[in-house]
Amino acid sequence: MKVRRTYRHIYLLCLSFLLPAYTGAHEFWIEPVRFDISTTENLVANLNVGQHFKGNPQSFIPDKFVELSITDSKGNRPVSGRLGELPAVNVPVQRADLHILTYQSRPQSAVYEDFSKFERFATKEGNAWVLDEHKRRGLSRRKVIEAYTRYAKALVQVGDAAGADRIMGMPLELVLETNPYADSTGDDIAVMLLWQGKGLASAQISVFRKYGGCDATRSTIATDDTGRALVPRSDGGRFLLNAVHVIEPTPRTLEDINAVWESLWASTTFELPAAAAGESDTGKCPAATEGLDK
């Protein structure tokens, strides 16, 4: 049994290091097994990378992240685990409170051999301006090297879930100004996108929503002049918010990765109860794309 477990960990470890080569322009998010738990349960969550709210779980590999932590109203503590463990997060909670899981990756690189793929990435993620700037800078279209870093959060209700999301100090970060578990008033969830501690205006946020056995829907909203936006509650379900901000590589990034562009990815996940008589009760799944404000 011990030998079989060792081989499994070796396999998962190898798979985790190979995956980045295929997933450069994909979303990364923390997805708890359950978003609503009691104080006697462990908080269990997967670190997922994929597309359209479908992903492959990543095992616990400390060399791949700068931070993996859990925060409640009393403070922050690192998440520990065994190398290669799946799910990557399996920790006890200490009190009834809103708990925030936070993940910050180390920079990695992606190579676009086909420029049209880079064009699709930039356009889909609301950074089409990069294409004109790429030309202005006289950069080659034959091989585009991108450095990317992930900044992910997940909000978990433990007990009565009193408390609020907070700024964790990551360079690019999504912060919910509405506690989705405690505040049931209104039709929207207020969110702010922060870049270097300030609201990022006119930025795109992708909103993925899924429930039951339905595939996720994707829609987009735009931040206002203060970096704020409203996410419709719809009929509940699991939500993944994702935002991408592209910049010219910093000197530190250039020292580690010879990239021509640097992308920063922020995500956050939470879950709302399904409506008592919503579309989830009709037996029909919604269309893959919903029309929110573009």
288 in a domain, yes or no?
A: no
pLDDT at 11 over 60: no
280 in a domain, yes or no?
A: no
Task: Give how far Cα 63 sits from Cα of 90, 97, 106, 222, Å.
Answer: 18, 30, 8, 34
281 in a domain, yes or no?
A: no
Per residue in 266-275, pLDDT (tens digit) is: 999 999 987 6
69 vs 3, which has greater pLDDT? Answer: 69
233 in a domain, yes or no?
A: yes
* Mean pLDDT within 263-267: 98
231 in a domain, yes or no?
A: yes
Task: Read off the pLDDT band of 186 (50, 70, 90).
Answer: confident
DSSP-derived letter for residue 138 is T
* Helix runs in the chain, H state only: 2-18, 115-124, 129-136, 251-256
293 in a domain, yes or no?
A: no
| pLDDT score at 274 | 75
- Report the DSSP pairing between strands 144-158 and 108-112: antiparallel
Q: For the CA atoms of the chain, what is the radius of gyration?
A: 19
Per residue in 210-245, pLDDT (tens digit) is: 987 889 999 999 999 999 999 999 889 999 999 999
DSSP line for 44-81:
EEEEEEEETTEEEEEP--GGGEEEEEEEETTEEEE---
230 in a domain, yes or no?
A: yes
Total domain count, the chain = 1
* Mean pLDDT within 83-111: 96
The residue count for the chain: 294
108 in a domain, yes or no?
A: yes
> Is residue 20 within 8 Å of residue 26, measured between CB atoms?
no
185 vs 103, which has greater pLDDT? Answer: 103
| pLDDT score at 249 | 96
Domain residues for 149? 2-275
